[in-house]
Amino acid sequence: MRCRRPLILTSVVAVAAFSLLAAGCGSGGSPGVASVASSTSAATTTTQNEAAVAVSFSRCMRSHGVPTFPDLSTTEPHALKATAQRLAASNPHFTAAAKACNHLLPNGGSSEEAAHRQRTQLADELSFARCMRSRGVTRFPDPTAQGDLSVERVKAQGIDVHSPAVLRVVQACLPASHGGLTAAKVKAALNNAGR
């Protein structure tokens, strides 16, 4: 029962964070002068390529209507995430710009790690939904393929999400989500949804 960020934003942030992390890490190898020289050369080439990709993507975003998009090659990952979230929420051109510029990112902006996280989240939400149905909330919906399991979707099934009986089942089924859903996340989702 949580709001999902657009996959594009997640991909942009994940790729940018990966690029920044990779820029600070060299490859390890067996000790020796030849190994250090080849590792340093490979790391330098990789870092230069990643920096060029980051600069190209940033320029593309700015040219497609997001003039304050930060330079990915110089922005700290935590600051980048906050800035990207702010821009996505405040700039109506952000999503279209990200779609137009994703081709500049490795794998078109998709991240194997992000895809794995999405599959894991979906599996956890499906497990939670099955638990809810098995404990008497028979019309509790499965999440969508994109992982949408919002309070609104649950309410659309005629389920009173503020009912003490439903809340007891939610509490009993939280462990079925393997930590994907927590009491705090459910409370926040219910507070945001109102009555």
Domain end residue (candidates: 45, 78, 110):
110
| DSSP label of 32 | S
Domain boundary among 110, 140, 167: 110
Same domain, 79 and 149: no
Q: How many domains does the chain have?
A: 2
pLDDT tens, position by position, 122-161: 889 999 999 999 999 999 999 888 777 889 999 999 999 9
Backbone dihedral angles phi then psi of residue 145, each to the nearest 5 degrees: -60, -25
With CA atoms as reference, report the closest residue to 150 among 176, 174, 185: 185
Of 44-53, 65-74, 181-190, the range with the lowest mean pLDDT is: 44-53
Confidence of residue 57 (pLDDT cuts 50, 70, 90): confident
Element spanning 53, H or E: helix 33-63
169 vs 181: which has the higher pLDDT: 169
**Residue 89 and residue 180 share a domain:** no
Structure tokens at 140: 């509790």
Segments forming the whole domain that contains residue 34: 7-110
Q: How many CB atoms lie within 10 A of CB 37?
A: 10
Q: What is the mean pLDDT of the chain?
A: 74
> Which among 75, 71, 18 is positioned nearest to 47, based on CA atoms?
18
2 assigned to some structural domain: no
Tell me the per-residue pLDDT of 150-176, one tens digit each, with 9 for 90 and over. 899 999 999 999 999 999 999 999 999
Q: Provide mean pLDDT across the span 59-69.
A: 90
Question: Are 65 and 149 part of one and the same domain?
Answer: no
Q: How confident is the model at residue 48 (pLDDT cuts 50, 70, 90)?
A: low
Residue 103 included in any domain: yes
Question: Is the domain of 187 the same as that of 143?
Answer: yes
Same domain, 27 and 94: yes
> 51 and 32: one domain?
yes
Q: Is the pTM of this model over 0.75?
A: no
**Is the pLDDT higher at 39 or at 126?**
126
Both 37 and 98 in one domain: the answer is: yes
The answer to the question of residue 1 being in a domain is no
Give the pLDDT score at 21: 31
Asked whether residue 39 is assigned to any structural domain, the reply reads: yes
Residues 15, 77: one domain?
A: yes
User: Is 69 in the same domain as 139?
Assistant: no
State mean pLDDT over 1-13.
Answer: 43
Residues 78 and 130 in one domain: no
pLDDT at position 4, please? 42
